[in-house]
Amino acid sequence: MLAILEVAGLRKAFGGIRAVDDVAFAIGQPGIFGLIGPNGAGKTTLFDVICGRQTADSGTIRFEGRPIETLRVHQRARLGFARTFQECRVLPEETCLDNVLFGAQDKRLGAEWTQCLTRRTGRREAMRAEARRLLALVDLEPHADAPAGALSYGQRRLLEIVSALISRPKLLLLDEPASGVNPMMLATLREFLCRIQEERKIVLLIVEHNMEFIMSLAAQIVVMHQGQVLAQGTPAAVQADPRVIEAYLG
């Protein structure tokens, strides 16, 4: 079976620090996958390289069989990439609904002309309806017309994820989505991610330090340590691996 995402021999160094050091793994089918490891293991740098925010020093990245390591961020986004960040990124002065609709906009050069030409069609209303549906799934629809800055930090996290999903990506990279989210919202987030994955059959690759959250959510886990892949397998296998216990879980 052709892998959806495949990285091989991936390296990225900053001076003498090898943040990503000969990383290789493959995701062969839609599903929810975890990426864990201690702070400084290289997880966010790996995300940056996969998305195109950083250029790899060497190695290959293939998406649906196509080499993409030379593509820029917006070109990868057009193929179906989306991501969130460690630092929650929303537009605080804009309404929650407008935050989501901004995520739906085509960012390509000249795309604003197409949007102007189609603004009287039903596409915009359909997009607004989908935005409100997604907001409702994370209990944010009552805040749709309120500024995002009025939300709690956990609610902003949920809004950022919804804003990334509105563009219907094939691959969504989530960088510590559970950070700063209270237990009640975590349950909402877990249910939402499972529902979206099942509904859209996409790949979710999640960096997370909340072990209870990620182990209950992901079907497969990749463990990084000192820039390298230490282990990969089911949550049960990873939690029982002596190398993982020594380097991270112990």
Give me the CATH number covering residue 220. Answer: 3.40.50.300
CA-CA distance, 39 to 226, in Å (whole number)?
A: 9
Q: DSSP string spanning the chain? A: ---SEEEEEEEEEETTEEEEEEEEEEE-SSEEEEEE-STTSSHHHHHHHHHTSS--SEEEEEETTEE-TT--HHHHHHHTEEE--SS----TTSBHHHHHHHHHS--STTHHHHHHHTTTSHHHHHHHHHHHHHHHHTT-GGGTTSBGGGS-HHHHHHHHHHHHHTT--SEEEEESTTTT--HHHHHHHHHHHHHHHHHH--EEEEE-S-HHHHHHH-SEEEEEETTEEEEEE-HHHHHH-HHHIIIII-
Going by C-alpha positions, the residue among 223, 219, 225 that lies closest to residue 30 is 219
Tally of CB atoms within 10 A around 198: 12
Reading the block at residue 46, the tokens are 């790996």
Per-residue pLDDT tens over the stretch 101-120 = 998 876 554 444 445 444 55
Per-residue pLDDT tens over the stretch 191-222 = 999 999 999 999 999 999 999 999 999 999 99
State which amino acid sits at residue 152.
Answer: S
pTM of the model: 0.91
Residue 133 domain flag:
no
Residue 58 domain flag:
yes
CA-CA distance, 137 to 184, in Å (whole number)?
A: 14
Residue 158 domain flag:
no
**Pairing label, strands 171-175, 81-83:** parallel
Q: Cβ distance 177 to 189 under 8 Å?
A: yes
Per-residue pLDDT tens over the stretch 54-85 = 999 999 999 999 999 999 999 999 999 999 99
CA-CA distance, 65 to 135, in Å (whole number)?
A: 33
Residue 122 domain flag:
no
Reading the block at residue 192, the tokens are 């939402």
Residue 109 domain flag:
no
Domain span at 52: 5-94+166-249
Q: Cβ distance 159 to 189 under 8 Å?
A: no
Per-residue pLDDT tens over the stretch 125-163 = 889 999 999 999 999 999 999 999 999 999 999 999 999
**Counted domains in the chain:** 1
Residue 203 domain flag:
yes
Q: How confident is the model at residue 48 (pLDDT cuts 50, 70, 90)?
A: very high
- Give mean pLDDT, residues 23-45: 95
- Length, in residues, of the chain: 250
């596409």: which residue's tokens? 123
Residue 144 domain flag:
no
Residue 15 domain flag:
yes
